[in-house]
Amino acid sequence: MKNPRQLAFIVLRDVHKGAYADVALDRVLQKVDLADCDRRLVTELVYGSVRRQRTLDTLIDQFAKKKSHQQPQDLRTILHLGFYQLRYQERIPASAAVNTTVQLAKENGFSGLTGFVNGLLRQYLRQAGEQRGKGAEGQGGRGAEEKDSLLLPQSSIPHFDPLELPENPVERLGILHSFPDWIIQVWLEQLGLTETEKLCEWMNQSPTIDLRINPLRTSIEEVEAALQSAGILVKRIPHLPQALRFISNTGSIQKLPGFKEGWWTVQDSSAQLVGHLLDPQPGEVVIDVCAAPGGKTTHIAELMGDSGKIWACDRTSSRLRKLQENSQRLNLQSIQIYTGDSRHFTQFQNTADRVLLDAPCSGLGTMHRHADARWRQTPKSVQELSVLQQELLTHTSTFVKPSGVLVYATCTLHPAENEQVISAFLAKSPDWQIESPNGLELPDSAQIAPQGWFKVWPHRQDMDGFFMVRLRKTNNSE
């Protein structure tokens, strides 16, 4: 079975039963041999429908007699796919979006409701058309009106938008850009309205893929040339000496030149900044206390010239296997793997020159990559993570030698997991202080806060959202 929309429906059905979107998608794609364009369509429909779930539900609420949560779950999923194509997919003709959605309903147990599905989607298009002035000359007949609206260029839809929005700015942004109100509130408090809207728009883009070249095996020029000869376009990223960003379709990452040879690995630019902030030196002892799946660990090894010892700790052995595979592919020898919860280790006390705590977090800075993260996290889960982060920071700071360094980093933009964790730690740890990241080249328009920490805002720096701070243990520490 190779119908991309049917495959997307199967994946979304799993997601609505609780599966992670990327896992469910991978599981389905592995079973079928699809052309690249169909594979991309399935991926777009799945991630797009998950991302835009709140907006799509609002459209169902608006146009159907029964609210979205009252619809049979599979029918709701089919309507999501239809509305997503009409609203967000400019390359799919409106008629194709409607017809294929009706067909999906027919093939998945809703043949008696095909008229309802057809009517609902056409009603959306008709309203978009009417607001544009289509069919305004009186009684052209319903058929003519529908025919006109089905030919509307999709790019016109956002400008003549049938979606009804409330006045309240939090709800308005939440429905329009499809985020829970609480996330919008957290951003508004930090950024204000205009920038929050820009951040929402950025988070709904398809993610870019960055790679980090391995300077122990190759040079950035050599990787650029190898990719170019394979017809793959990349560009360099200012201030990051190992970073390249793909600006064309890549196909399978594992099949690209240099991957098997360990010339490079996939890692977002923001994550690469963390390694440079840690600034590990050859011969040092470094502990990465939440290391899996190993992007930052392997970067530390490269920055140290693979000389010294890196303890890579994590409590999830399956994710540590991924780290092991990566370090073998990159031909790195200095990484030692240690399985377990870093909050309970006693053997590392006062042993490390540097510690990296890339803390487990809500991931609110990477929601463009993880389509379902915005629906999985809650204010309660953020508070629970904040407690875990403080426990990890308090305990793993004891691993650092006097005068040593600890870098705390997260890929979230929530103050409860970032600024508040650091402030609480410093309030009870007089032997620690924030150290300004002198010498670190920052992305354009990026600024270090007066307190000394640094936040990557995706809509400003065009990379994943991150928080990072370098802490130094003073000499008079025990």
223: Cβ contacts below 8 Å, ≥ 6 apart: 211, 213, 234, 244, 258, 263, 264
State the CB neighbour count (10 A cutoff) for residue 178: 22
Is the same domain home to 191 and 159?
Answer: no
Q: Using the predicted structure, report yes or no on whether residue 5 has a pLDDT greater than 50.
A: yes
Of all residues in the chain, what percent carry a pLDDT higher than 70? 93
* Single residue among 266, 289, 307 that ends a domain in this structure: 266
> Residue 478: inside a domain, yes or no?
no
Q: Per residue in 281-291, pLDDT tens?
A: 999 999 999 99
122: Cβ contacts below 8 Å, ≥ 6 apart: 98, 146, 149, 150
Cα 298 from Cα 301, distance rounded (Å): 5
Nearest-CA neighbor of 21 among 338, 316, 375, 364? 375
Per the annotation, the verdict on 290 as an active-site residue is no
Q: Using the predicted structure, report yes or no on whether residue 126 has a pLDDT greater than 70.
A: yes
* Single residue among 166, 191, 222 that ends a domain in this structure: 166
What kind and span of H or E run contains 408?
A: strand 400-410
Residues spanned by the domain of 119: 4-166
Cα 86 from Cα 129, distance rounded (Å): 13
- CA triplet 471, 474, 477: central angle to 5 degrees? 120
Q: Any idea which residue has 């990890």 for tokens?
A: 392
Lowest mean pLDDT among 129-143, 156-170, 391-405, 420-434: 129-143
State mean pLDDT over 257-268.
Answer: 95
> Residue 119: inside a domain, yes or no?
yes
Lowest mean pLDDT among 53-67, 155-169, 219-233: 155-169
Is the same domain home to 126 and 177?
Answer: no
Residue 55 in contact with residue 178, Cβ under 8 Å? Answer: yes
State mean pLDDT over 116-129.
Answer: 93
Q: Using the predicted structure, report yes or no on whether residue 478 has a pLDDT greater than 90.
A: no
Is the same domain home to 64 and 180?
Answer: no
State mean pLDDT over 27-33.
Answer: 93
Is the same domain home to 115 and 51?
Answer: yes
Is the same domain home to 16 and 99?
Answer: yes
114, with CB counted inside 10 A (0-12, 13-18, 19+), is middle
Q: What confidence tier does 130 reach under pLDDT thresholds 50, 70, 90? A: low
Is the same domain home to 403 and 323?
Answer: yes
Is the same domain home to 262 and 355?
Answer: no
Q: Using the predicted structure, report yes or no on whether residue 108 has a pLDDT greater than 80.
A: yes
Bridge partners (DSSP) of residue 471 are: 406, 434
Is the same domain home to 71 and 108?
Answer: yes
> Residue 391: inside a domain, yes or no?
yes
Q: Which of 200, 290, 361, 411 is catalytic?
A: 411
Q: Per residue in 414-469, pLDDT tens?
A: 999 999 999 999 999 999 999 988 777 777 777 888 999 999 999 999 999 999 99
> Residue 44: inside a domain, yes or no?
yes
DSSP percent split of the chain into helix, strand, coil, nearest 5: 50, 15, 35
Length of the chain counted residue by residue: 478
Residue 370 in contact with residue 22, Cβ under 8 Å? Answer: yes
Q: What confidence tier does 131 reach under pLDDT thresholds 50, 70, 90? A: low
> Residue 271: inside a domain, yes or no?
no
**pLDDT value at position 136?**
36
Give how many domains the chain has, as a whole number. Answer: 4
* Single residue among 203, 220, 248 that ends a domain in this structure: 203
**pLDDT value at position 144?**
39
For residue 127, what is the domain's CATH number? 1.10.940.10
- List, as one string, the DSSP characters of 300-364: HHHHTTT-SEEEEEES-HHHHHHHHHHHHHTT--SEEEEES-GGG--TTTT-EEEEEEE-----T
Q: Per residue in 310-321, pLDDT tens?
A: 999 999 888 899
305, with CB counted inside 10 A (0-12, 13-18, 19+), is middle
Cα 49 from Cα 9, distance rounded (Å): 10
Is the same domain home to 105 and 48?
Answer: yes
For residue 247, what is the domain's CATH number? 3.30.70.1170
**pLDDT value at position 441?**
79
State the CB neighbour count (10 A cutoff) for residue 283: 12
Tell me the chain's radius of gyration from C-alpha atoms: 25
Is the same domain home to 199 and 215?
Answer: no
Token reading at 216: 């122990």
Cα 33 from Cα 1, distance rounded (Å): 9
Is the same domain home to 220 and 298?
Answer: no
Cα 19 from Cα 369, distance rounded (Å): 16
Residue of higher predicted confidence among 282 and 36: 282
Is the same domain home to 108 and 152?
Answer: yes
For residue 288, what is the domain's CATH number? 3.40.50.150
- List, as one string, the DSSP characters of 167-235: SSHHHHHHHHHT--HHHHHHHHHHH-HHHHHHHHHHHTSPPP-EEEE-TTT--HHHHHHHHHHTT--EE
Q: What confidence tier does 406 reach under pLDDT thresholds 50, 70, 90? A: very high
The pTM score is 0.90
**pLDDT value at position 440?**
79
Give the CA count within 13 Å in the CB-facing half-sphere of 428: 11
> Residue 444: inside a domain, yes or no?
yes
**pLDDT value at position 94?**
92
> Residue 152: inside a domain, yes or no?
yes
Cα 307 from Cα 323, distance rounded (Å): 18
> Residue 272: inside a domain, yes or no?
no
**pLDDT value at position 215?**
97
323: Cβ contacts below 8 Å, ≥ 6 apart: 291, 292, 293, 294, 297, 298, 312, 314, 335, 337
